[in-house]
Amino acid sequence: MVLAHRRGAAGALMLALFLSTPAFTQQASDTVAPEIASGVEEKELVSASKQMVVAANPLAAQAGLDVLRQGGSAADALVAVQTVLGLVEPQSSGLGGGAFLVWYDAQTGEITTFDGRETAPMAASDDLFLEDGEPMAFFDAVIGGRSVGTPGVVRLMEAVHQRYGKHEWADLFESAIELAEAGFEVSPRLHTQIADDRGKLDQEPAARAYFYDESGEPIAAGTILKNPDYAATLRTIAQEGADAFYTGDIAQKIVEAVRNHPTNPGLLSLEDLASYEVKQRPAVCVPYRGLDVCGMGPPSSGALTIGQILGMVSHFNLAALGPDDPESWRIIGEATRLAFADRDMYMADSDFVSMPQGLLNASYLEERAALIRRTTALPAEEVKAGTPPWDKAEFRLPGIAPELPSTSHFVIVDEEGNIASMTTSIESGFGSRQMAAGFLLNNQLTDFAFSPQNGGEAVANRVEPGKRPRSSMSPTIILKEGKPVFALGSPGGSNIIPYVANAIIALVDWKMDMQQAVSLPHLSNRFGTYDLEAGTPAEELADDLQALGFETRVTELNSGLHGVAITPDGLQGGADPRREGVAVGD
């Protein structure tokens, strides 16, 4: 096999990380507005016998576990986790954003999904991000009201609670309200991100007043930070339900912030908020090595693209190659490139765009896998969208939509065996930088393609009134013979897809435990250049991959993978060492 003579050095280093979970330090990334960990610490696999929460902040994880200990369901704990995350990790998710949830119902054995993705205002048109016919500079579009879509996470929380909750709605907000009123300790990670966003976040008056001290410096790590406006908002929602968010005073404050921005006003209206609906959709499930990998369909591209990757690599013996062989990463990287070509061409909100029904067709994926049966990297001109079975699909052309590595993911398993795997986001770190009623507003509309046409043809992911922008969020639950065995997901922009796909391969093919899988060094090839995670043994594969014909780049790849394995002996949770998340359980 090509480069077999080089396996030793790189492989030994890679396996050193797989077999343990050493600490390494993340430095600030040069990518656009990343969420950067100030550092990481070694984390060990956490075991529990009956219930577990894995979330991106210890306070949020504990709030969810407290609800479970009081007899609550995963749906109840979901509300507590999300509302605390919106306070202590506001740069990533919150009431002003949206979410996708994959839910396993232990009573029926069914998987379903809830789409709480933001929607474009009804007044929006496909030239929303054009100026003089040209796409806007990214942050010119992001900062202010133009990028704000109708938030969906509050309606999602209510919809899931109404169907699966056991506790009183109002009781689920207590932890977040108490923390907002008494204050919480600013983490080093939050401080670092506030500092890194100087020049953007501090230009918005409400955000500057909250996130910076009186001298204009980023609020220091260890500071006790209170948010009485957020507490008041939560009290109103707790007492009056989600309607209080989508109508009345809270809605008015949101719309005023969006429409009255002095330099970049948006189009969101009271009518957009009042008419917002969460959509329950069938899960997208794909077979892989005798398992069913289930995730979120459009408007997320996550499950479809992961399904394509897994469908292609299933034709290769990754288990025999192992994680230390460059050939494994050649196969995975090529499958990812081909899947991303289809993603950019075809995938968008299926309520607006008819997509090929055969994107996951086994014969089609076998044809795509045949392209990978070679010994060197595919030339760029050969990595293009395929022609899957159509079934009345509309032909569209690809359009580039930046997706930034913000967001958060959590997994909850309750005592009855219900599972919530939820990815939640305001898009980039600190979203639009606009605050209203104590929380940040999203910039999810910049997940649309800025240019609505490509060569005179319509782009699938263009802006349309009421449409949901394409996402890469990939909350996942994996079943074996109808019973759940894994639940996982990650933040990370479009890198979410390779993060989650690679973790699944690590769990299934390479038999890693959950902590080893989420600690795996990242290698990601979406668009031709192979990104290798800085500060990890992934760097040592650069020479191998270059010899195979890939361009490589060593860069920060800051995931936030969280997952739970459901085993005959109980639950095993893993939290990404790159962030401050934890797994807790009983």
Residue 132 makes CB contacts below 8 A (sequence gap 6+) with: none
- Measured from the Cβ of residue 396, the count of other Cβ atoms closer than 10 Å reads 22
Query: Cα separation of 380 and 371, whole Å?
Result: 13
Known binding residue 432? Answer is no
In angstroms, what CA-CA distances link 80 with 156, 338, 379, 382, 464? Answer: 13, 39, 49, 48, 33
Q: Find, among 245, 154, 191, the residue nearest to 437 by Cα.
A: 245
Token pair listed for 77: 């704990």
Is residue 447 marked as binding? yes
Rounded CA separation 65/76 (Å)? 10
117 carries a ligand binding annotation: yes
Phi-psi bin for 119: left (phi > 0), alpha (psi -120 to 50), beta?
beta
* Contact predicate 128/443, CB 8 Å: no
- The answer to the question of whether 471 is labelled as a binding residue is yes
Given a contact cutoff of 8 angstroms between Cβ atoms, the answer to whether 449 and 469 are in contact is no
- 373 annotated ligand binder: no
Residue 373 CB contacts under 8 Å (≥ 6 apart), including other chains: none
Tokens of 473: 């969020």
What's 489's DSSP letter? E
Q: 3-state DSSP call for residue 476?
A: strand
DSSP-assigned beta bridge partners for residue 450: none
Collapsing DSSP to helix, strand or coil, 554 comes out as strand
What b/e sequence results for 455-466 when a residue is b if at least 16 CB atoms lie within 10 Å of its CB, and e otherwise? eeebbbbbbbeb
> Are the C-beta atoms of 51 and 77 separated by less than 8 Å?
no
What does R_g of the chain's alpha carbons equal in angstroms?
Answer: 22
Nearest to 211 by CA among 485, 440, 463: 440
* CA pair distance 493, 428, nearest whole angstrom: 8
Strands 551-555 and 529-533, sheet pairing: parallel
Q: Could you tell me how many residues make up the chain?
A: 586
CA distance 219 to 190: 9
Measured CA to CA, the distance from residue 489 to residue 512 in angstroms comes to 16
In the set 233, 407, 476, 552, the catalytic residue is 407
By the 8 A CB rule, do 231 and 237 touch? no
CA-based angle 585:93:74, to the nearest 5?
A: 35
d(CA 385, CA 390): 13
How many other CB atoms are there within 10 angstroms of residue 170's CB atom?
15
Is position 407 annotated as part of the catalytic site?
yes
Residues in a beta bridge with 573:
46, 564
Residue in 430, 434, 448, 402 with CA at minimum distance from that of residue 263: 434
How many Å apart are CA 145 and CA 148, to the nearest integer? 6
Residues of the binding site for L-glutamate = 117, 447, 471-472, 493
Task: Give the residue ranges of the annotated binding site.
Answer: 117, 447, 471-472, 493
Catalytic residue numbers, as ranges: 407
